[in-house]
């Protein structure tokens, strides 16, 4: 039993060290840089999530649950620790890039202008967008529903606040001052709207109907599901271009 406890302690120490190293850019950002309110909101949320995760892991396993302390249960790290690690692993690619995108390294005026325009849509009056730098030569949006849900659930697990309502948009790090190319940010904002309004679920029915109209050429079984899903994904891309 002592060996099992040592093993768990070792796993917890390793996980705490990993999470500390992931969160450190948000916990102690360089004071000489200024951030947009959206980036600051993101930074504060990550800092709070880090503190709550630390407290939770320091008191792991929770005493208010029936934890089976059988040897089998601890042969590999409990699932919960894996999920906490994976949750932080998913946040990892975006933490440093958000901190690097201070107000001098992002198209602040253009972003403000596009955000003001976006907020004219009724249900998005409070939406803000955080920009992060990506090493890829392409613009991308970070699945707001997916990452928010994962972060929310991770937050519930460690008793932290829910993820604030913000979109996360990646711009190539070399193009932070390029006006015309940065107009692609509008396309990524549309992905945010599509995701919040569950556009893909809605368009999927249309995609299935279109495939069925192909008659004999219409695929069947799993292939039908996969193809209709792919068609709906491309419809979303077209929607975001409009």
Partner 1 sequence: MVEAMEHSSERLHYLSLALDARLAIKALRQTLPSETTAAELRESVRAALDSLKAASRGGAVYAGLGDLEPYENFEQIYMLQEVASSVDSTSLMQQLQGLLETGKATPEAKTTALKFFAEVERRALHYYSDPSLSEQSG
At 201, list the tokens: 């679920």
Q: What is the DSSP letter of 184?
A: T
- Rounded alpha-carbon distances, angstroms, from residue 106 to 34, 97, 115, 142, 172: 11, 11, 14, 17, 10
Q: How far apart are CA 65 and CA 82, in angstroms?
A: 18
Which is nearer to partner 1, 57 or 102 (by Cβ)? 57
Q: How far apart are CA 39 and CA 94, in angstroms?
A: 11
Which is nearer to partner 1, 58 or 68 (by Cβ)? 68
- Rounded alpha-carbon distances, angstroms, from residue 107 to 71, 113, 171: 55, 10, 10
Return residues touching partner 1 (CB under 8 A): 62, 64-66, 79-80, 82-83, 86-87, 90, 136, 138, 140, 143, 146-147, 149-150, 153-154, 156-157, 198, 201, 204, 208, 222, 224-226, 228-229, 233-234, 237
In order, the DSSP letters of 4-33 are HHHHHHHHHHHHHHHHHHHHHHHHS--TT-
Q: Considering the complex, what minimum distance in angstroms separates the CB of residue 58 from partner 1?
A: 18
8 Å CB contact between 19 and 83: no
Q: Considering the complex, what minimum distance in angstroms separates the CB of residue 69 from partner 1?
A: 14
Which is nearer to partner 1, 117 or 153 (by Cβ)? 153
Q: Considering the complex, what minimum distance in angstroms separates the CB of residue 141 from partner 1?
A: 9
Q: Considering the complex, what minimum distance in angstroms separates the CB of residue 49 from partner 1?
A: 13
Q: Considering the complex, what minimum distance in angstroms separates the CB of residue 153 from partner 1?
A: 4
Which is nearer to partner 1, 39 or 151 (by Cβ)? 151
Which is nearer to partner 1, 115 or 208 (by Cβ)? 208
Q: Considering the complex, what minimum distance in angstroms separates the CB of residue 122 from partner 1?
A: 19
At 186, list the tokens: 């509008």
Which is nearer to partner 1, 67 or 108 (by Cβ)? 67
């Amino acid at each position: 039993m002592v060996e099992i406890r040592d093993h768990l302690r070792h796993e917890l120490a390793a996980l705490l060290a990993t999470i500390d190293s992931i969160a450190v850019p948000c916990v102690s950002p360089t004071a000489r840089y200024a951030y947009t309110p959206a980036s600051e909101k993101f930074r504060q949320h990550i800092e709070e999530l880090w503190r709550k995760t630390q407290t939770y892991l320091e008191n792991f396993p929770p005493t208010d649950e029936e934890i089976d302390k059988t040897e089998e249960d601890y042969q590999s790290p409990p699932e919960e620790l894996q999920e906490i690690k994976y949750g932080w692993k998913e946040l990892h690619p975006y933490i440093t890039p958000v901190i690097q995108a201070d107000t001098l390294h992002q198209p602040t005026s253009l972003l403000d202008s596009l955000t003001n325009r976006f907020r004219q849509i009724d249900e998005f009056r409070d939406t803000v967008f955080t920009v992060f730098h990506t090493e890829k030569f392409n613009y991308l949006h970070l699945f707001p529903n997916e990452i928010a849900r994962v972060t929310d659930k991770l937050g519930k697990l460690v008793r932290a606040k829910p993820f604030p309502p913000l979109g996360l948009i990646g711009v190539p790090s070399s193009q932070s001052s390029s006006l015309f190319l940065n107009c692609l940010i509008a396309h990524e904002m549309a992905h945010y709207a599509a995701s919040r309004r569950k556009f893909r679920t809605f368009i999927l029915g249309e995609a299935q109907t279109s495939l069925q109209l192909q008659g004999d050429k219409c695929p069947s079984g799993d292939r039908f599901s996969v193809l209709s899903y792919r068609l709906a994904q491309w419809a979303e891309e077209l929607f975001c271009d409009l």
